[in-house]
Amino acid sequence: MERNEYIESFFKSLKSQLADAKIAKDGKSAKYQNLVVSANWSNDLWEVQVQGDTEEQIQRQFDPLNARSSQAAANYFVDALRRLRGEEPLPRPPVMHRSIRGAGRGASSNAPKA
């Protein structure tokens, strides 16, 4: 994924979960009620922060090489925005994890030995 694609994907996901959110024309911020979520690149990390009429500071940095996805980042900020407004976080289906059992074993490792 290209650098700006992470941020675009983040805001698309945020908008899909918060219908009232308004994405700025530059695609690097969104307004939800009286809160503004902004995302920018800082060296090799992308930084997301919430500003507005709240005393709580919310700021996270994401490494695109280690981050699970921009979807996971959006989920975190959607839940945080909803909590700041006294709303419950959105229910989400459980995340399915792939099992890597047997990784590294050859295909014939379970075959009977001659």
The CA-based angle 74-51-57, given to 5 degrees, is: 85
Chain segment 28-83, per-residue pLDDT in tens: 999 999 999 999 988 889 899 999 988 888 999 988 877 668 888 999 999 999 99
pLDDT of residue 74: 93
Name the residue ranges covered by the structural domains of the chain.
Answer: 3-84
102 — pLDDT class (breaks 50, 70, 90): low
C-beta of residue 10 within 8 angstroms of C-beta of residue 21: no
* pTM for the model: 0.75
**Residue 99 in this model has a pLDDT that exceeds 90:** no
How far from 52 is each of 8, 35, 38, CA to CA, in Å? 21, 4, 11
pLDDT of residue 69: 81
Residue 114: helix, strand or coil by DSSP? coil
